[in-house]
Amino acid sequence: MSSRRNSIEGKLPFTSATRHFAALTGDAAARLAMVSGEIALILDADGRIVDVSADPREFPEAGSWVGREWLDTVTIESRPKVMEMLAGMRKGVTQHWRQVNLLSGEGDIPVRFVTVSLGAGGQGCIAIGRDMRDEAALQQRLLQAQQSLERDYIRLRQIEARYRLLFEQSVEPVLIVDADGFRIREANQAAHRAFHSRPGSLQGGKLTALFANAAREHIIAFLGSAMVSHGLQPLDAALAHDGEKVQISASGFRERGGQFILVRLSSPVGAARPDAGVTVRVIEAMPDAFVLTDAAMIIREANAAFVELVAAASAEQLRGQPLGDYVGRPGIDLDLIEGQLTKHDSARNVVTVVGASDGFEGEPVELSAVRTGSEQICYGFVIRPIGRRLRDLPTTSDSPRSVEQLTELVGRMSLRDIVRESTDLIERLCIEAALEYTSNNRASAAEILGLSRQSLYSKLHRYGLGNMADAED
C-alpha cells in the first residue's frame, strides 16, 4: 500500500538547493542515503542491484543481492509494487513509500521503500528502505489486544443476556435498588406483578413508597443494615396497595463505584402454612427427621428433627443447600436413591449415614423417600437414626440363616464381611442338606461332602447343628 507520509509531494522545496548541495561529495551523498533508512540499494536502469548498504545483523543476506534483480529479492506479492516503483522512476513520477517484503532465510522482512532517481539519462536510482519489523510486531500485538477485547466483549454480552433471561424469568420478585436514595434501578416481571404495576413503571420510583407507611422506617433501617452486614434475618412488611404481608430479603453490593442493594420478596413463613394445615404442624413436630427438596436435591424445607440431626443452627440455614452435604456417602447413596425414585417413585428403609466426612464415617440412619409432581418434581425424605438400635442388638457369632437375612446386611457391613458370612451360610446349608439326605448319618454325610468325620463334627459344633444328628457308635 502506498503512503504519502515522508514523501516530497506537497512539501516546500529548498529555496537555494543548488547553493546548499553544490559541494555535496559522493561520500556525503552516501552517508545521507545510509542515514535515511536501515537499508539502501543502488539500482541500474534495468532494476538490477549494483550496490547495497545495510546492517548485516539485521539483513544477513544483503551482501548476496549485488548483481541480482531487485524483483528476485522480494516475495511474489511484492513484485507488482517493485515494478510500479521502477516504472515511475523511469517516467520521473514522484515516488511514495511502498511496503514490500524481502526474502530471507529467517522469514520475510517487511521494509518500506522509496526510490530516488540518480539523474537523467538512465543512470538508475537509489532505493532507500526502512525496517518495519518493529512496527509490524506492534501492529500484531495491537491486533491481538483488539481480538482479546472483542472476545471479552462478546463474553460479557453473553453473560448479560443470560443474566437478563434469569432475572426476567425468575418467579421470585427481585429489584435492584440504589443504596443512596432507595430508588429502583431494575425490577423483573414478578416484581411488577407483586406490586400490581405496569411493566417498566417501577424503575425510577422509591422502594419505600411501595409499602405501608408504618413499615417504611423499618425498611429504611433494614436496607441500611444490608450494606454493612450479611446474613440478616428477612423483614416482614405490608404492601401499600392492599396491605398484604411480604417478606423482604436484602444484600448489598458495589458496582462501578456505586452501592446497590439486591432486594427479594417472598411470602412470609406463616403464609405458607394455612390455618387448616394440620399436616404441616404434624411434620414439624414429628420425632423423625423430615426434609423436602426440589428435583436437584436442594433443600427447601426441613423440620426441627432434621435440623437437630444434622446439627444445624436453624432450618433457614439449611434452605438452598444440597442434601448431599448432610446425608449419604458422597456420590453413592443419594444417586442410588434418586435412581429408585425415578423408577418406582418411592424408596423404603434405605440404610445410609448422616454427617459423613473424611475422618468420620457418619451416623447410621434409615431413610424412606417419595417422589411427587410431574412438571415441578419434589422429593420428600423421612430419616430415622438407627445407631442406637444397631448398638442394642445382641452380639452373636451365628451366621445368617437365610438369603433374605444375608441381603439385609448390605449397608451395615463391608463387602468382605458379607462374602465371609455368605460362605458360612452356603456351608451350613450344604451340611443340613447332606444330613437330611443321609437320614442324619454323619459318616455318610461326611463322605458325600468330601470331608473327614472329624471336620464334619467340628463344623456341626460351629454352626450349632449337633442336636440335628444322632450320635453314632
C-alpha cell recorded at residue 163: 443474566
| Residues with pLDDT less than 70, the chain | 1-11, 94, 120-122, 268-277, 331-332, 359, 374-375, 387-417, 466-473
C-alpha cell recorded at residue 360: 468420620
Structure confidence at residue 269 (pLDDT):
55
Residues 362 and 315 in one domain: yes
C-alpha span between 379 and 338 (Å, rounded): 9
Structure confidence at residue 2 (pLDDT):
46
**Who contacts 193 (Cβ-Cβ below 8 Å, separation ≥6)?**
173
DSSP state letter for 123: -
- pTM for the model: 0.37
Residues 278 and 236 in one domain: no
User: In whole angstroms, how far apart are CA 290 and each of 243, 322, 368?
Assistant: 34, 15, 10
Residues 258 and 281 in one domain: no
Terminal alpha carbon distance of the chain: 119
Residue 82 domain-assigned? yes
Structure confidence at residue 147 (pLDDT):
92
C-alpha cell recorded at residue 341: 425414585
Structure confidence at residue 81 (pLDDT):
92
* Mode of pairing for the β-strands spanning 378-385 and 289-294: antiparallel
Residues 29 and 106 in one domain: yes
Residues 256 and 282 in one domain: no
Residues 255 and 278 in one domain: no
CATH number of the structural domain spanning residue 186: 3.30.450.20
Residues 76 and 60 in one domain: yes
Nearest to 190 by CA among 77, 119, 267, 295: 267
Residues 421 and 375 in one domain: no
C-alpha span between 46 and 70 (Å, rounded): 9
250 close to 222: Cβ distance less than 8 angstroms: yes
Backbone angles phi, psi at 79, to 5 degrees: -65, -40
Stated length of the chain: 473
Computed from CA positions of residues 441, 444, 446, 452, in that sequence, does the dihedral angle turn out positive or negative?
positive
Nearest to 36 by CA among 134, 112, 119, 133: 112
Residues 226 and 333 in one domain: no
Structure confidence at residue 455 (pLDDT):
86
Q: Which of residues 370, 392, 414 is at a domain's end?
A: 392
166 close to 189: Cβ distance less than 8 angstroms: no
Residue 262 domain-assigned? yes
Residue 165 domain-assigned? no
C-alpha span between 184 and 177 (Å, rounded): 4
Structure confidence at residue 120 (pLDDT):
62
DSSP state letter for 12: P
User: Which secondary-structure segment (H or E) carries 62?
Assistant: none
Q: Which domain holds residue 53?
A: 2-131
CATH number of the structural domain spanning residue 439: 1.10.10.60
Residues 380 and 435 in one domain: no
Structure confidence at residue 468 (pLDDT):
44
Residues 25 and 125 in one domain: yes
- Cβ-based neighbour number of residue 173 at 10 Å: 20
Residue 92 domain-assigned? yes
Residues 306 and 408 in one domain: no
Instruction: Give me the number of domains the chain comprises.
Output: 4
Residue 138 domain-assigned? no
Structure confidence at residue 451 (pLDDT):
87
Residue 298 domain-assigned? yes
